[in-house]
Amino acid sequence: MPRCFWCSDDPLYQAYHDQEWGTPQRDPALLFEMLLLEGFQAGLSWITVLKKRERYRQVLDGFDPVKLARLSDERIEELMLDPGIIRNRLKLKAVRRNALAWLAVDNPAEWLWSFVGGAPKINHFQGRGDVPAVTDEAKAMSKALQKAGFTFVGPTICYAFMQATGMVMDHTTDCDRYAALLR
């Protein structure tokens, strides 16, 4: 199966590419999970985060924002000892801060989708050089998220989030998922 240029031969990466990445997602729980995971990726490769995703689900209460808003400093220190996750204190503190900000937004899924006009933006990129790292929509999302109290939500993280959750469809035209998602 032809895949996007960034997808390696790792079976976990291929499954993510083939079944999840770029598929429009409106479920608030998954959007929150992906926003946190994209923040954990900052400075790292996505496969690193993907390999730790199940452990994050275990130790972060299934990404439940209500529970994560109450994440104590003591629990963060315990998590700093867990080799199954990315042990970065600032990123772990961002989990609590982002959960609080998420809960303060009236309809977070609708709000996030508003940055692309409520419908997936379909791109027709042919190769690696065509796919941007940041767009005006991602910059606007980043600015709004930061204003709302979120952290680890720079424009590059926001664009990766938009790609992952199908707000933008950036599978390249030579990828099998491109045709499937156009339907």
In the residue annotation, 74 being an active-site residue is answered as no
Determine if residue 171 is labeled as part of a ligand binding site: yes
Nearest to residue 142, comparing CAs of 166, 125, 126, 158? 158
Nearest to residue 109, comparing CAs of 53, 65, 57? 65
**Amino acid, single-letter form, for residue 96:** R
Return the beta strands (E) in 76-169 as ranges: 121-122, 168-169
In the residue annotation, 78 being an active-site residue is answered as no
Considering 6, 20, 46, 111, which one is annotated as catalytic?
Answer: 46
User: How far apart are the C-alpha atoms of 119 and 26, rounded to whole Å?
Assistant: 10
Determine if residue 124 is labeled as part of a ligand binding site: no
Considering 13, 21, 33, 38, which one is annotated as catalytic?
Answer: 38
Considering 6, 16, 20, 111, which one is annotated as catalytic?
Answer: 16
Determine if residue 4 is labeled as part of a ligand binding site: yes
In the residue annotation, 46 being an active-site residue is answered as yes
User: Which are the contacts of 12, defined by CB distance < 8 A and separation ≥ 6?
Assistant: 47, 50, 51
User: How far apart are the C-alpha atoms of 76 and 180, rounded to whole Å?
Assistant: 41
A 10 A CB-CB count for 68 gives 22
Determine if residue 158 is labeled as part of a ligand binding site: no
Nearest to residue 98, comparing CAs of 171, 46, 31? 31
Q: SS3 for 166?
A: coil
List the binding residues.
Answer: 4, 17, 171, 175
Which residues are designated catalytic? Answer: 16, 38, 46
Residues tagged in the binding site annotation for Zn(2+): 4, 17, 171, 175
